[in-house]
Structure 1
């Protein structure tokens, strides 16, 4: 393939056009492979300029949903509308969407400049406009000084930025990203997360991002679709997902919550009071009485009333033993930099009961110390007594 003669850059460039993203609507999307349902009636509305992440374990349906939006996989039923245009049955190249893969897929014989210019050349963009767009895109990503280098002369992070620029340069209505930072080390991944979010906000891009990394999803997203078994368990803002999970799976997947078994002892407009099996009283935020699990119909009324209170390790605190919702003994303390992870075995609890806490590094308890554990009611959720299926949607 001949090289592009576009190496000279203009000395002054106008700012990039902002607000290029368009809304996207997915309705009742379904995909099966043989007798296995990979995506099951997924629906969502994504606003123009919104950063949405599909979060889930391997096999949860997140990548299959992304592939159907991209056009690489045809749905059995349902519709995909981008900016008011139905693209459900269009070939990928006719949808005009940008795609960033985990593998960089750069042309090794082309320079950075030529790799980024390639999509514009395919679209017949005039040379002057091509130079302007490539130049400003590389400058925005901090790659102008590397424009003449070949991919082999770049680090992994630089190559991924080139791949991002190639997807951005023709101003697609939606950018799709399939775990683009998965192959990078944590420090570089954190840096690129910041860059991706900055670019997305600056240009008003609509981004759909796939990851299994909970922290990455929380950092990047305006909203997150937590997926399991081909369905969306909850589609919400990061704060709402973390602070007010609607299902035990979301509470456990997005933070590994403690699940404390007990019964609802009191319901008021101000709080829900749970009598834990270990004997203590735990106050949760006010909420409707949790519905009994499906199998509870055959149980006694007292059995059907059982619940699990869920609270994240970082939302727990230590207190004097007599003041906590549980009293226990510190069994483990692990230093992990800015915080310590502690494990407390409640007195009077079942043999397998453990409470996990994350505490500031300067507030580590001593091994064997008797402590109380407390939590603010606003940080406690209550669910029917169903063991969270952390392996589902794998």
Structure 2
């Protein structure tokens, strides 16, 4: 059996795409209500063949309901779902030909690993020779060949999840849907399987739609992320764009746990935006589309703030807490001016922590500062 992570050459079978648009999956104005409550509200997206897309959001944001409608386990009230140019909106799940990996492994306990993985091929009438070839290739790719004759009860949680992934991969579906497949595993194993899933997806050119509430997992795995709230997509973009250039306060807070610094937009040019903070300091941000003089909140992530000498940055404050978390130190600073001002949170490299009670200045690269109209974000509100 190859070591975990060893590359195994397999025939790449690109997923079918709509020859007119080049898209593997199109979701158009999808809507779903339950007892008058809107769970998914006019969701639309286009997903290219070979793309890894994640639906990210808190409980109740609509991410799983959207996935279930794509899978066929839940009927939309309106809208359409097109896979490879074929409208599957009203087809039964088994007629859509999609792969599905659940958080619960749902392996047949009386079958061996080999038999579990072969089962989808048997349903499709594959010959014995084809089953042997496909199952053998898939188990080898996942590093499970030596476990082929074991039953699920003889496997660890991580091994069972890899078997479930193999079962979804073995017949090369056009799109694979994954509903929080790593949620029941410990962090070390999750990190390991994230690497495996991404490697397999890239090697085979798979189209994957993945649901998670874990921001780090979404950033690691995805080509694009749909950040969902209240049944809608707040922003659908690459991980870098979402993290570096959030378009809404919700995205800035949910993905980057941003500090929101209240103030007033003082000046704008083509190169920069100046915000006069309520604490009195002047903060420079990248160009923004906000009216001059408007009340605003400048958003900057804790990891993008740096310490500087007092009175040199956009804010001067006193260090209130210092928390060691391994490679990082989390610091809170209480501004010395401005009534009822919240603390500012920083994440600094370990070994560079200031002392409790120390007076420090705060600075930020303007490229890392976003400015929004003065709307207070609700960190607890997941939609």
* Per-residue CA distance 1:183-214 (angstroms, 9 max, x = gap): 00000000000000000000000000000000
Instruction: Name the SS for the 1:287 alignment partner.
Output: coil
1:296 aligned partner: none
2:182 aligned partner: 181
Query: In the alignment, which of 340, 355, 366 is matched to residue 344 of structure 2?
Result: 355
Could you tell me how far apart the structure 2 residues matched to 1:153 and 1:374 are? Answer: 55
Alignment gaps of 5+ in structure 2? 1-7, 18-23
2:147 aligned partner: 146
After the TM superposition, which segments of 4 or more aligned residues of structure 1 sit over 3 Å from their partners? Answer: none
Residue 11 of structure 2 is aligned to residue 16 of structure 1? yes
Could you tell me how far apart the structure 2 residues matched to 1:20 and 1:38 are? Answer: 30
Instruction: Name the SS for the 2:89 alignment partner.
Output: coil
* Per-residue CA distance 1:106-136 (angstroms, 9 max, x = gap): 0011110000000000110011111000000
Residue 307 of structure 2 is aligned to residue 318 of structure 1? yes
2:5 aligned partner: none
2:319 aligned partner: 330
1:3 aligned partner: none
Q: Please list, as runs of the form range in 1=range in 2, the aligned pairs for 1:1-394 lying within 5 A after superposition.
A: 15-20=10-15, 22=17, 23-289=24-290, 305-394=294-383
Could you tell me how far apart the structure 1 residues matched to 2:217 and 2:302 are? Answer: 19
Contact 1:230–1:393 (Cα < 8 Å) also in 2:
no
Contact 1:290–1:383 (Cα < 8 Å) also in 2:
no
Contact 1:68–1:75 (Cα < 8 Å) also in 2:
yes
Post-superposition shift, 1:351? Answer: 2.8
Could you tell me how far apart the structure 2 residues matched to 1:16 and 1:358 are? Answer: 45
Post-superposition shift, 1:352? Answer: 4.4
TM-score, normalised by the number of residues in structure 1: 0.92
TM-score, normalised by the number of residues in structure 2: 0.95
Deviates more, 1:36-45 or 1:15-24: 15-24
Alignment gaps of 5+ in structure 1? 1-12, 292-301
Contact 2:335–2:341 (Cα < 8 Å) also in 1:
no
Contact 1:104–1:159 (Cα < 8 Å) also in 2:
yes
CA RMSD across the alignment: 1.2
Could you tell me how far apart the structure 1 residues matched to 2:131 and 2:32 are? Answer: 39
Instruction: Name the SS for the 1:321 alignment partner.
Output: coil
Instruction: Name the SS for the 2:351 alignment partner.
Output: helix
1:9 aligned partner: none
* Per-residue CA distance 1:284-327 (angstroms, 9 max, x = gap): 01122259xxxxxxxxxx6xx10000000000000001211000
Instruction: Name the SS for the 2:347 alignment partner.
Output: strand
Instruction: Name the SS for the 1:46 alignment partner.
Output: strand
Change (3 A) 1:81 1:376: same
* Alignment: residue pair count: 370
Contact 1:62–1:230 (Cα < 8 Å) also in 2:
yes
Could you tell me how far apart the structure 1 residues matched to 2:333 and 2:259 are? Answer: 11
Change (3 A) 1:215 1:21: farther
Could you tell me how far apart the structure 1 residues matched to 2:371 and 2:237 are? Answer: 19
Post-superposition shift, 1:350? Answer: 2.8
Post-superposition shift, 1:16? Answer: 2.5
Contact 1:40–1:230 (Cα < 8 Å) also in 2:
yes
Could you tell me how far apart the structure 1 residues matched to 2:125 and 2:229 are? Answer: 42
